[in-house]
Amino acid sequence: MVNSLDTLAAFWQQQSELYGDAALLGIPRGTASFTEQPNVLPVVTPELARETAPEAEQPVVAAKSRKKTLADVAAEAGACTACGLSRARTKVVFGNGSEKPRILFVGEAPDKDDDASGLPFTGQVGALFDRMLTRMGFARGEVYITFPVKCKPPANRQPAADELSACHSFLQQQISLLQPRYIFCLGRVAAASVLNTSADIDTLRSSEHQYKGIRVFVTHNPAALLHNQGLFWAVFEDMKRFRAVYDREIGDKPPMPDAAKPGKNG
Ligand code: SF4
């Protein structure tokens, strides 16, 4: 035993003289020993953080980097109290229709029927809109419909500037997520919100516009048409002008029927 201890001590001494204590502790030659190591923490890169994070934390990182969806924006609008319209609403009317629409229709504001159902263009105005849409050759399921404010203004008044401004980011996000090929603004308020203009409705109707590369058309609000059927011919001309562009660029619809007042023949 003594001999063994002596042999081991001699071996230690010899190795220590040749290589230092680090060799006997398994530290490669040329690196600092434990006692010489400065107290430096490794640099935590995002990659390292992902690799070393406990598994339970990984979905949180993924969720934070996930792209916002239309459902996320709808949920935000559903809880929104950013303007006074939130106080009297029954339901938020976020919008409805295809999530890959060729056309995004933007109306003026939800009315009492929309407020009760949570859906755009229900009730009498909705029935008239459906006739317009059918005459243009489209069904609700292939377009998307929304408003520049998602809550009903009292007494069917037009939305005020501060309400439009408070709600504007929801409309912007909808356009950005839906990426429609065309936007059809129904009325001056809708056109003013999308195009950031104060021009009157006839000036807006008479030309085509652009929003971030998307072609924008303007016609009267169906609610205005409901109260003034004299606007029918102007709306019909706007629909025809839009269909001429659509037929030239896409051309997958039968010809648009000739004018027949929707109030009489549907
Ligand atoms: S109208 Fe728009 S901004 Fe105002 S409360 Fe409703 S969702 Fe919010």
Find the radius of gyration of the CA atoms of the chain. 33
86: CA distance to ligand 1 center in Å?
6
Tens digit of each residue's pLDDT, the chain (266 residues): 444 445 444 544 554 454 444 443 343 443 333 333 334 334 444 444 444 444 444 445 555 678 999 999 999 999 999 999 999 999 999 999 999 999 999 999 999 999 999 999 999 999 999 999 999 999 999 999 999 999 999 998 999 999 999 999 999 999 999 999 999 999 999 999 999 999 999 999 999 999 999 999 999 999 999 999 999 999 999 999 999 999 999 999 999 988 755 444 44
The domain boundary, picked from 65, 89, 115, lies at 65
Contact 246, 262 (CB under 8 A): no
pTM, two decimals, is 0.75
Q: Is 258 found in the same domain as 142?
A: yes
Pocket of ligand 1 (CB under 6 A): 77, 80-83, 85-86, 92, 149-151, 163, 166-167
Chain segment 11-56, per-residue pLDDT in tens: 445 544 544 444 433 434 433 333 333 343 344 444 444 444 444 4
Q: Using CA positions, which residue lies closest to atom 3 of ligand 1?
A: 167
User: Distance between CA 185 and CA 233 in Å, rounded?
Assistant: 17
Q: Using CA positions, which residue lies closest to atom 6 of ligand 1?
A: 151
74: CA distance to ligand 1 center in Å?
11
In single-letter form, the type of residue at position 145 comes to: I
The domain boundary, picked from 42, 65, 88, lies at 65
Instruction: Give the range of the structural domain holding residue 81, as residue numbers without chain letter.
Output: 70-265
Number of domains forming the structure of the chain: 2
